[in-house]
Structure 1
Amino acid sequence: MKHTLNSIQKQWIEENETDFSDLKALFLNCTLKKSPEVSNTAGLMSLSQQIMKACGVAAKMIRPVDYDIASGVYPDMTEHGWDKDEWPDLQKEILDANILVIGTPIWLGEKSSVANMVIERLYSFSGKQNKKGQYIYYGRAGGCIITGNEDGVKHCSMSILYGLQHIGYTIPPQADAGWIGEVGPGPSYLDENSGGPENDFTNRNTTFMTWNLMHTARMLKDSGGLPAHGNQRSLWP
Structure 2
Amino acid sequence: MKFNLNSIQEKWNRENPYDFSGLKAVFINCTLKKSPSLSHTEGLMSMSQTIMEANGVKTKMIRAVDHTIAYGVQPDMTEHGWEKDEWPAIQEKVMDANILVIGTPIWLGEKSSIATKVIERLYGFSGKLNDKGQSAYYGRAAGCLITGNEDGIKHCSMNLLYSLQHLGYSIPPQADAGWIGEAGPGPSYLDKNSGGLENDFTTRNTTYMTWNLMHLARLLKGEFPAYGNIRNEWDESNHEHPNPEYR
TM-score bracket, normalised by the shorter chain, equals over 0.9
The answer to whether residue 89 in structure 2 is matched with residue 85 in structure 1 is: no
What stretches of structure 1 of length at least 5 have no aligned partner?
none
**What is the CA distance between 1:234 and its match in structure 2?**
2.1
Partner AA of 2:141 in structure 1: A
Query: Partners in 1 of 2:6 and 2:76 — Cα distance?
Result: 44
- More deviation, 112-121/224-233: 224-233
Query: Partners in 1 of 2:215 and 2:90 — Cα distance?
Result: 25
RMSD: 0.8
Partner AA of 2:63 in structure 1: R
Task: Name the residue aligned to 1:30.
Answer: 30
- More deviation, 10-19/157-166: 10-19
Query: Partners in 2 of 1:2 and 1:126 — Cα distance?
Result: 33
Residue 236 of structure 1 aligns to a residue in which SS?
helix
Task: Name the residue aligned to 1:143.
Answer: 143
Task: Name the residue aligned to 1:12.
Answer: 12
Residue 121 of structure 2 aligns to a residue in which SS?
helix
Residue 135 of structure 2 aligns to a residue in which SS?
coil
The answer to whether residue 153 in structure 2 is matched with residue 153 in structure 1 is: yes
Task: Name the residue aligned to 1:205.
Answer: 205
Task: Name the residue aligned to 1:21.
Answer: 21
Kindly report structure 1 stretches of 4+ aligned residues shifted beyond 2 Å: 1-4
Query: Partners in 2 of 1:9 and 1:78 — Cα distance?
Result: 44
Query: Partners in 2 of 1:49 and 1:126 — Cα distance?
Result: 25
Q: Deviations over 1:85-113 (max 9, x none)?
A: 11111100000000000000000000000
Task: Name the residue aligned to 1:50.
Answer: 50
Task: Name the residue aligned to 2:62.
Answer: 62
Query: Partners in 2 of 1:205 and 1:69 — Cα distance?
Result: 31
Paired residue for 1:227, among 219, 225, 228?
225
Residue 177 of structure 1 aligns to a residue in which SS?
strand
Q: Taking structure 1 as the reference length, what is the TM-score of the superposition?
A: 0.98
Residue 59 of structure 2 aligns to a residue in which SS?
strand
Residue 155 of structure 2 aligns to a residue in which SS?
helix
User: How much identity, in percent, do the aligned residues show?
Assistant: 73
Query: Partners in 2 of 1:83 and 1:147 — Cα distance?
Result: 33
Query: Partners in 1 of 2:36 and 2:234 — Cα distance?
Result: 47
Partner AA of 1:25 in structure 2: A
Query: Partners in 2 of 1:233 and 1:49 — Cα distance?
Result: 34
Partner AA of 1:106 in structure 2: I
**Aligned positions, number:** 235
Query: Partners in 1 of 2:204 and 2:155 — Cα distance?
Result: 19
Q: Deviations over 1:39-76 (max 9, x none)?
A: 00000000000000000100110011111010001111
Q: Deviations over 1:141-161 (max 9, x none)?
A: 000000001110000000000
Residue 116 of structure 1 aligns to a residue in which SS?
helix
Partner AA of 1:233 in structure 2: R
Q: Taking structure 2 as the reference length, what is the TM-score of the superposition?
A: 0.94
**What is the CA distance between 1:6 and its match in structure 2?**
1.6
Q: Deviations over 1:194-229 (max 9, x none)?
A: 1101110000000000000000000001xx511000
Task: Name the residue aligned to 1:168.
Answer: 168
**What is the CA distance between 1:2 and its match in structure 2?**
3.0
Query: Partners in 1 of 2:5 and 2:39 — Cα distance?
Result: 20
Query: Partners in 1 of 2:230 and 2:202 — Cα distance?
Result: 38
What stretches of structure 2 of length at least 5 have no aligned partner?
236-247
